[in-house]
Amino acid sequence: MDPVILFFVLGITAGLLRSELRLPAAVYEFVTIVLLLAIGLKGGIELAKQPLGQLLPQMVAVVVLGFVLALIAFPVLRKLGRLQRADAASIAAHYGSVSVGTYAVAVAYLGSQQVSFEEHMPLLLVLMEVPAIIVGIILARGVSRSTRWGSVVHEVFLGKGIVLLLGGLLIGWAAGPEGVLPLEPLFMDLFKGILALFLLEMGLITAAQLTGLRRYGLFLVAFGIAMPLFSAVVGTATALMLGLSLGGTVILATLAASASYIAVPAAMRISVPEANPTLSLAAALGVTFPFNVLIGIPIYHAMATWVLG
């Protein structure tokens, strides 16, 4: 098992044992900022090497993928889960969007398995964050006039996550591989160490979400495991269609399978306030994140190997 995963396990364990261990909010923010910038930069460097036009099919495909996954999740949550409209819409948005932390773990995993992948994946990551948010808002409130779309767009595109990822992408793209070289000691060499600290904190947070889970029962657990498995299949199929490499397929499956816990919760809190954040975070963080990180990614790897082999 990759040692960064062990940090996640340490965090969960410490959290469940009610240890005094707690990372200050500022450390969480620092670590998040470095990760987001690092992922953006890495993708940007790659973009500098190839014509953007060539990536257009992939870009369109992941946007559609984001829409579709949210639209599929919604009726399941509504019918099978008997959740309220707003809650179902909000959770659907979480699962249609993506988790940067899960992406980073997948990158680390492929690294230690020495499987290479298309390095422009961070571009797809950014593109896939947004569509599900829009779906979620429309599902919750309809396309009513009263929705303040101005502030929705602001919330979505100017949130910390997107700004740093996109900013990193653009800087990496503008500076190119040579230009970014002096930044590598911080953003590349420390990447795994910083990711370890991030996962330690995520473990502590995940442990706290489990309380939410206990209250809202089995359905969320089932959904939190079944949905990523289903999404990973859709993601793998999409990757196949796009002709991605083995590594690229694993990443796209992981992106599809992952559920957002940075951009989407913030956007939903403002745009669909009547949705209960405890539900979506319990599912996305309490179930799906650990599932993907501990079990899912190797499964998606096996699946991709099988499909592409």
Q: Give, for 168, the enclosing helix (H) or strand (E).
A: helix 160-180
Give me the phi and psi of 273, to 5 degrees please.
-65, -25
Using CB under 8 A as the binding rule, whether residue 23 contacts its own copies is answered as yes
What, of another protein, its own copies, Na ion, none, does residue 222 touch, CB below 5 to 8 Å by kind?
Answer: none
**Partner interacting with residue 261 (select from its own copies, Na ion, another protein, none; CB below 5-8 Å by kind):** another protein
Cβ 38 vs Cβ 122: under 8 Å? no
* Residues composing the chain: 309
132/71 Cα distance (integer angstroms): 8
What's the Cα-to-Cα distance from 231 to each of 23, 73, 98, 296, rounded to whole Å? 32, 10, 11, 11
**Which one of 91, 115, 197, 244 is in contact with its own copies (CB under 8 A)?**
197
> φ, ψ for residue 190 (rounded to 5)?
-85, -5
Select 18 or 82, whichever has its Cβ closest to its own copies. Answer: 18
Site for its own copies in 237-266 (CB under 8 A): 266
> Any contact of residue 210 with another protein (CB under 8 A)?
no
Indicate whether 152 belongs to the interface with its own copies (CB under 8 A). Answer: no
179 binds, among another protein, Na ion, its own copies, none (CB under 5 to 8 A by kind): its own copies
Q: What are the tokens at 36?
A: 């987001």
Point out which span in 34-42, 56-64, 239-247, 271-279 binds another protein (CB under 8 A). 271-279
Of the pair 82, 214, the CB lying nearest another protein is at 214
Under the binding rule (CB under 8 A), the answer on residue 17 touching its own copies is yes
Whole-angstrom Cα distance, residue 166 to residue 89?
Answer: 26
Size of the site for its own copies (CB under 8 A): 56
Write out the H or E segment, with its range, that includes residue 262.
none
Distance in Å, CB of 255 to another protein, minimum: 21
CB of 274 to another protein, least distance (A): 5
**Shortest reach from residue 258's CB to another protein, in Å:** 17
CA atoms of 282 and 70, how far apart (whole Å): 18
Site for another protein, residues 148 to 207, rule: CB under 8 A: 201, 204-205
Q: What is the DSSP letter of 158?
A: S
First-to-last alpha carbon distance for the chain, in angstroms, is 24
CA angle 265, 196, 277 (to 5 degrees): 15
**Of the candidates 170, 269, 294, 307, which one interacts with another protein according to CB under 8 A?**
269
The SS3 of residue 292 is helix
How many angstroms separate the CA atoms of 7 and 247, rounded? 24
Distance between CA atoms of residues 123 and 175, nearest Å: 16
Taking CB under 8 A as the criterion, the residue among 53, 143, 144, 158 binding its own copies is 158
Closer residue to another protein (CB): 27 or 229 = 27
When the beta carbons of 20 and 144 are compared against its own copies, the nearer one is: 20
277 touches, from another protein, its own copies, Na ion, none (C-beta below 5 to 8 Å by class): another protein
**Site residues (vs Na ion, CB under 5 A):** 258
